[in-house]
Structure formats: structure tokens, C-alpha cells
Structure 1
Amino acid sequence: MKQHIEELKPTIDKVFNHLHKNPEVSWKEYETTEYLRTFLQSKGFDVQGFDDCPGLVAEVGEGSPCLALRTDMDALWQEVDGKFQANHSCGHDAHMSMGLGAILVLQKAGFPSKGKLKFIFQPAEEKGTGALKMIEKGVLDDVDYLYGVHLRPIQEIRDGEASPAICHGAARFLTGEILGEDAHGARPHLGQNAIEIGASLVNEIKSIHLDPMVPYTAKMTKFHAGSDSGNIIPGKASFSLDLRAQSNEVISALAEKIEVITESVSNIYGVKIPLETKVNVAAAEVDDEARRFMEQAIVDVLGESQTKEPIITSGGEDFHFYTLKKPNIKATMLGLGCDLQPGLHHPDMTFNQEAIYSGVEILARTLLHTLGEHKNGINVE
């Protein structure tokens, strides 16, 4: 397999350079989709696209088990050198390159005669809604094992190391409004002070107590009220809340507490406080068997000393909606060390691109190890 990867390095580099130079934001990845489609078709693969959204799926083989490798496609919209633009500062260009590399390596090595492989190129991970769309499209209906990959920052794991699981946390991002009446600064009893109401919300949210063994946070991240007139008590305001927890159960409990607090405060002050969930990201549900197959592949490629424990992070990934909505799927995500600095989502993020080749081999071997367990020992050399 290493010889196949050596032969494919120029192709993988060309793919990465193209994707890196042509980023597209969530739900706009149409040119990326067309590039991937054209590339895969030129290599002899049949691909399935979608009428109403970007993204595609390539399938190889048939029967059971069905294994899927998912990579994300979208870039972030952020300020880079004083100009707002699409920017691959989360490594999705590398993830797509690894997905394409894995399918090409397996093609060179010879696809297994039994079992189905799916290669999913998913849009809109950064919006937290792309995985749900793939589920809606039925892409995961026949999948038994699901694997993913994400570059990890140097603060978590070093270049040349890898982890067989990333334990992302759950997150919910809410927006709300306080709908009261303005009042003259001399007559506060004739209206409702949205700033005081916002302060009450903050204090009550800080008093939430849940299972202390599971990390969680809830905080107000934006609050806007009032105008340029300093003698008007503002009755209206808008705000945002950021909720995070390390498990899906605790994030649900946290959201319920927020709803109770909001309703109570609205009743006390006599105002309406509607809330809207903007983004909802599931926490990881790592399957031990899938993790074991990926750990075996990491040991094969990097060695046992470079194989690290699962990474626990409060960051989110919509990959985990697949297991939340399809509990029968056995899944895990590769955490790949690559000297990524200064951090994910930083506009000047850089990483060691040589790590892509290791990622390709680990992913390909993970798929073969999984099939080998079910098909009496497929050769992964």
C-alpha cells in the first residue's frame, strides 16, 4: 500500500492545491462538487449527486457489510488580510484530499470482492446541517460502519501522531428577543427595562446546576439594546446564547433549563422572550469496535507509540448526527496530528501537508481491517 501512495502523491497534491485555492462556503459548494465528480468519473467511478444541494457519493461493490468514509467540503467565511472571503481554515480541503486518496489507493490495491464501500463528500458541516441533509437523502440507510477524519491542532496532538476517536461535545446556538415597551428615563414604571431583564437572564443562567461529572457551559455571547438617546429606557433587545456539553443528554437538559428560565423571567417582567435554535450539533457516540479497527490501522502506519488516546474536545462536528439519528451505525473519527498552527478556524492556519499521505493510508487500512474482520482476513499490505 505504501508504494501505491508513493505513486499517487503527485495526484493527491494536485487535488489538494486545487481545493485549497478554490474554497466555497456552506451550501455553495457546487464547483467543488463538480470538480470531485469530474475527477472520480475520470478514474472510472460512478457517482451520485443531488438535485437540490451540493455533495456527492461514490459507491464500490455490493452486499454486506456497508462501510462509509465521510469527508466534509465547505470552507469558512472570514476576514483574511483585511478582506472577507471563503477560506479553508478548518482543513476540509485536506479531508477531501484524503477521501479521494483513499479511494484511489484501494483501487490500485484491488477492491474487496464482497461488501460495499461508500465515499461521502458532504456539504455544510460548518452550518451543522449537512449531515442531516445526507440522512434525509437516505445516503446512510444501508451503512453499517462510518468513518471520518479531522486535522487536529498542535495543542491537542503532535505531527506524526494520531487518535482513533475524537470525542466532540454537543453545542446549541440560540437567538432571542426581549419584547417590552420603551419608557422615559424619568418614568421607568411605564415600561420594561430590557437591559435589566437581560441581566436577570445572565444571572439565572449562571445558576444552572447539572451533573458535575459532565462538562457543560451556557453563556450569553451577544446582547444589544438601546439607541443613541441616553434618556430612553429600552424595552426591546436581542441576544445570543452559546450552549455546550460533552454529552447529548446533558445538552438537552441544559436547553430545557434555559427554556424554563426564559419563561420565568418573561412572566416576572411581563414581556415576551421568544427563543430560536440556530445551530444544533450532536456530541460524539464512538463505537468501540470501529475505534479498534481504526486504532489497528494507526499502529500499522505510524506505530504503537504514535497512537494516542481518544481526543476529548468541546468543539463540535455535525458528523455525530449520523449516529444520533442512526444509532445502529458504528462510527468513529480519525484525529490526525499535523503540526496545525495557530489553530483551527484561524485565518492563517497552516499544517504539514505531508500528513495527508498518512491520513490516506490510515483511512484505507481502516476500511480494509473492518472488511477483513467480516470477510476472513483481507490482506491490507
Structure 2
Amino acid sequence: MTTALPLRQAVASREQFIDQTFQHLHANPEISWKEMETTRYLAERMRALGLRVTTFEDCTGLVAEWGEGKPVVALRTDIDALWQEVDGEWKANHSCGHDAHMTVVLEAVESLIASGYQPPGTLKILFQPAEEKGTGALKLVEKGVVDDIDYLYGVHLRPIQEMRSGHCGGAIYNGGAMFLYGEITGVSAHGARPHLGINAIEVAGAILSGIGQVHTNPMVPATVKMTTLQAGGESYNIIPDKARFALDLRAQTNEAMDDLVKRVKQIIEGVAVSYQAEISLEQGARMVAAEVADEAKQLMEQAIVDVLGQEKLQPAPVTPGAEDFHFYTVERPHIKATMLALGCDLQPGLHHPKMHFNREDLVKGVEIMARVVVKTFEKLQGERE
């Protein structure tokens, strides 16, 4: 029988395996909703540890469970890669760190088992697909697999501009994001007789000018930009009657996003009336802003201090980048959740095709995530006694 190791020693004993796990996942990226081999690999790893594994017939991803009953603490990692051009070739590429996130969560569970830990309740591990599409978390919510979770923890690598190697934060305050797609229908006419037409490009220009005048609370970051505009054809003497456009909206809070959407729609409705054009508007994907539980953040900070020391604990970063992890708490407000902000000198930046980082920081991330599990169960046990 293998002798249980102290947690730090258990993590240290797995350093070589941590790197091997990362290399395997990095070398085998799969894009959103097509993570079939990734799902198979993760399921095999979890079953080999003796965990109960649930996969799904209609989508990728899986849930693993260790222990029985309440309380329920959960770890979550995203598993998909981006589709982008790398050295002239379009391919799946882990340039957002999901390979690292999977590694941290997998190896945290491995390390807990190696330390002889037994959860006094249930530890759930969510291997979530399609984060890059913004729809994976909602799919797991729909399946009911998060309904019994008390505390939920995620992890995300931070760019060097936000956090240096060896430092961590107890939360990530992601902003919200939304896409709006519109189609303008005007009236086509000869270029010599513009008064007989309704120029869809001019209508789009009025929308662009209008959204530039949208003013929201200056204390809360919020922006709206027109990011796509398509109109006209190869005949340059025709007033175009059709145009398609897209708007990218960002806000640091969900309340600010609701206000921004309302104001943008008012602008577009006003332009339609002013130009006597028809403008249809469709809402695309929406990513909610972070809803961080103070209790979860404090536990994560305690785990960071235990591993790195007080001087390496950094303030939680505020970032305009979006993350679908936050759907869990918005859709199920009883869940107390936060994400580990893992400093690792990531550069040139997230989603850059040549993104790289200090892989030694993965070992620190593994121990922090393992310790926050232990601390959370201890807290919940104390509350029950």
C-alpha cells in the first residue's frame, strides 16, 4: 500500500507528470464542441483514479465525481482550443491557456489522491466544452450538473501585463460582452438620383455616429463599437439598399451592460425612423460579467498565501476580457465561486498564436487549487458542527 504524502510533497512528486500532462494536451488541441479526443482522454484519466465519470450523448465534456453526499465542492476547467492561423496554417491552437487549465485541475485531483485525502462530501470536476463560444457553461447548467454545488473554483492564466510569474490573485473580475447583428433595408436608386433612394451606407453611418454619443456611468467601463459593415456591390453607380453590420458591446458589470444595450437599441430605433429605413436587430452571444462570492475569494486567497506567501498575493485583476465561467453564478446564484488568477509571465498575450508562459507556475497552480479544495471542505464542515 502506497504511503500518503503531505500535499506539498505530493504535488512536488508529480512535477514531471504535470509537464507531461500539459505537453499532451497542448499537442492535441480541439475546437469548441469538437473536443472528442480530449473528452476521451480526460475520462480515461478520471476513471483510472477511481472517480465516477458522466459523459453526454449530445455534446463533448464530462463531469467526474469523488466522494459522496453533501457538501459539494467543484473544480472547473475549460477544454476547447481556438481556431487560428499559426505560421501560415489554419489550425486548432491552445493560445488561451485551456491546456494549462486542464493540467492544473487534473493534477490537483491527482495530488490530493496522492496525499491520501478523502473529501468529506463530494468533489466534482467539471470539464467544460466550448468556452470560446460562450455556450459551454450554459450547456452544463442546462444538464443540471451544477445544481447541487456549494463552492465552485476555476483558474485562468494571466498575461504578463496583469500579473508576473510567481504571483496570484484570488479572483478575476471579467467584464461582460455581447454581440448585436443588424440588417438595414433601404431603397435602391441610381447614383445620379440619390433623392429617390434610401442609402443603407448612410443609415449605417448614422448608427455609427449615434453609438459614439452613447454615454453611460463613467465610473463603470463600457464601450460599443461597430466591428463589421458590409454593403454595396461591384456597380459603383447604385445607391445600395442593403447593409449588414455587427456591434461589439463590453461592460464591466451586468447592470452596465443592460443599460448599454438599452441605449444602443434606442439609437438604432431613432435612426430607422429618421431615415425611414427598416433595421432588424438580432442579439448574438452574450457573456456575463463576473459575480464573485467574497467567501470563495477569501478561501482562494488563503490557499495562495499558504503556497506562495503573503507578499505574492496580488489584488484581483479587473479585465475587459469575457469568460463564460460566470454563467454558473448568474444562472445559479446559490453557488459561491471564484477563479484563480495565475501569474505566469504569459506573453505576447492571450489568443496570440505564439502565446507562451512560464510552465513552472503550473506546479504552483496545482497546489493552490488542491489546497482551496481542502480549505473549503474544512470551512463547510465547521459550519455544520
- Give the TM-score, by structure 2 length: 0.96
User: What are the Cα deviations for residues 77-102 of structure 1, in whole angstroms up to 9, with x where unaligned?
Assistant: 00100111100000000000111001
C-alpha separation in 1, matches of 2:20 and 2:49: 15
Q: Does 1:102 align with 2:102?
A: no
Q: Is the 8 A contact 2:66 2:119 kept in 1?
A: no
- In structure 1, the partner of 2:264 is 258
Match of 1:83 in 2: 89
Give CA deviations for 1:106-161 in whole Å, capped at 9, x if unaligned: 11123335221101000000000000000001011000111100000000000000
> Is 1:92 aligned to 2:98, yes or no?
yes
Ranges in structure 2 where 5+ consecutive residues have no aligned partner: 1-6
- Secondary structure of the structure 2 residue equivalent to 1:174: strand
Q: Identity rate of aligned residues, in percent?
A: 57
1:226 Cα deviation (Å)? 1.0
Following the alignment from structure 1 to structure 2, what is the Cα–Cα distance between the partners of residues 177 and 111?
57
Partner letter of residue 179 of structure 1? T
Structure 1 position 310 matched with structure 2 position 319: no
> 1:146 matched to which residue of 2?
152
Counterpart of 2:377 in structure 1 is 371
**C-alpha distance in 1 between matches for 2:323 and 2:240:** 38
Write the distance in 1 (CA, Å) between the matches of 2:247 and 2:89: 28
AA aligned to 1:320 is H
Q: CA deviation at 1:12?
A: 1.9
Q: Provide the rounded CA distance (Å) in 2 between the counterparts of 1:208 and 1:38.
A: 52
Q: 2:52 maps to which residue?
A: 46
> Which residue is equivalent to 2:351?
345
Shift of 1:234: 1.0
Q: Which residue of 2 aligns with 1:129?
A: 135
Aligned partners of 1:373, 1:122: CA distance in 2, in Å? 26
SS in 2 for 1:139: coil
SS at 1:254 equivalent: helix
2:66 and 2:46 mapped to 1: Cα distance? 12
Runs of 4+ aligned residues of structure 1 deviating over 6 Å after TM superposition are none
Secondary structure of 1:334's partner?
Answer: strand
Structure 1 range deviating more: 259-268 or 229-238 = 259-268
1:95-244 → structure 2 map (5 Å cutoff): 95-244=101-250
Match of 1:65 among 68, 71, 76: 71
| AA in 2 matched with 1:289 | E
Task: Indicate which of 293, 298, 306 corresponds to 1:292.
Answer: 298
Paired AA for residue 63 in structure 1? G
Moved more, 173-182 or 351-360: 173-182
Superposition deviation, residue 376 in structure 1: 4.1
How far apart are residue 64 of structure 1 and its match? 2.2
Partner Cα separation in structure 2 for residue 43 and residue 141 of structure 1: 24
The one-letter amino acid of 1:47's match is: V
Distance in 2 (alpha carbons) for counterparts of 1:34 and 1:88: 18
Report the equivalent of 1:9.
Answer: 15
Distance in 2 separating the partners of 1:143 and 1:375 = 15
Which residue of the partner structure matches residue 61 of structure 2? 55
Q: What is the deviation of 1:249?
A: 0.7
**127-136 or 220-229: bigger deviation:** 220-229
Count of paired positions: 377
Question: How far off its partner does 1:266 sit?
Answer: 1.4
Amino acid in the other structure paired with 1:345: H
Task: Give the aligned residue type for 1:157.
Answer: M
TM-score by structure 1 length? 0.97
Q: Distance in 2 between matches of 1:367 and 1:276?
A: 41
Alignment-mate amino acid for residue 359 of structure 2: Q
Task: Give the distance between the partners of 1:316 and 1:137, measured in 2 at CA.
Answer: 23
Q: What amino acid is the match of 2:187?
A: E
Q: CA RMSD in A?
A: 1.2
C-alpha distance in 2 between matches for 1:114 and 1:17? 33
> Which amino acid in the other structure matches residue 123 of structure 1?
P
- Distance in 2, matches of 1:240 and 1:315, equals 18
Report the alpha carbon displacement of residue 354 of structure 1 after superposing the two structures with TM: 0.9
Matched residues in 1 for 2:156 and 2:283: separation?
26
1:74 aligns with 2:80: yes
Tell me which residue corresponds to 1:248: 254
Mapped partners of 1:73, 1:85: distance in 2: 16
Residue 324 (1) aligns with residue 362 (2)? no
The 2-side partners of 1:113 and 1:262 are apart by 54
1 CA distance for matches of 2:187 and 2:31?
Answer: 39
